[in-house]
């Protein structure tokens, strides 16, 4: 009888340990998805950028899923639309959706020029359409977003720094500081 109790006690201990480990390994996450909480603690959706110039976008959140896209533009802004502990579902500027590992993403904010009227976006000295033009940014150029004001983003492109309307950049409409 003592041997059976010992076996049952070790089984109970193993089950308790397994359940506790399972709770922190993603089975019962310590966050509330219904309340909008995420594994990273960051809001979804949000904008981030690609960290490397060769990233596989997969059909699902695991290396076993087939590659849908190979992203070749380091710094490309992407929108995180869902996430697991290790994977992020992203939408690129063309609307394609795929999964990438979180290590492939950078929190640095970038935008891609998407002019609404002309083939270029005017970069201005201040956040106003009345100030002088510092430079022009061609359609599709990736810029770093350095500061935000309502309706405007301060950007850096090469050696130029200035302000552009947020509406002229893909990746600028979801501020970290609403």
pLDDT tens digit string along 28-72? 455 566 666 788 888 899 999 999 999 999 999 999 999 999 999
Q: How do the pLDDT tens digits run along the chain, 178 residues long?
A: 555 444 444 444 444 444 444 344 444 455 566 666 788 888 899 999 999 999 999 999 999 999 999 999 999 999 999 999 999 999 999 999 999 999 999 999 999 999 988 899 999 999 999 999 999 999 999 999 999 999 999 999 999 999 999 999 999 875 443 2
Q: How far is 103 from 116, CA to CA, in rounded Å?
A: 33
Whether omega for the bond prior to residue 40 falls within 30 degrees of 0, making it cis, is: no
pTM above 0.85, yes or no: no
As beta bridge partners, residue 152 has 149, 165
Predicted pLDDT at 173: 77
């Amino acid at each position: 009888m003592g041997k059976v109790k010992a076996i049952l006690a070790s089984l109970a201990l193993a089950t308790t340990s397994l359940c506790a480990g399972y709770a922190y390994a993603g089975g019962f996450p310590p966050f509330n998805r219904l309340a909008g909480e995420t594994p990273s603690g960051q809001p979804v959706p949000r904008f981030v950028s690609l960290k490397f110039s060769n990233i596989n976008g997969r059909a699902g959140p695991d290396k076993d899923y087939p590659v849908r896209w190979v992203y070749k533009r380091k710094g490309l802004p992407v929108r995180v639309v869902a996430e697991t502990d290790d994977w992020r579902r992203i939408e690129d500027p063309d609307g394609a959706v795929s999964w990438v590992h979180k290590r492939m993403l950078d929190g640095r904010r970038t935008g891609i020029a998407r002019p609404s009227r002309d083939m270029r976006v005017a970069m201005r000295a201040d956040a106003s359409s009345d100030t002088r033009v510092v430079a022009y940014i061609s359609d599709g150029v990736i810029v770093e977003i350095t500061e935000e004001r309502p309706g405007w983003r301060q950007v850096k492109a090469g050696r130029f720094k200035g302000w552009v309307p947020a509406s002229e950049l893909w990746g600028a409409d979801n501020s970290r500081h609403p």
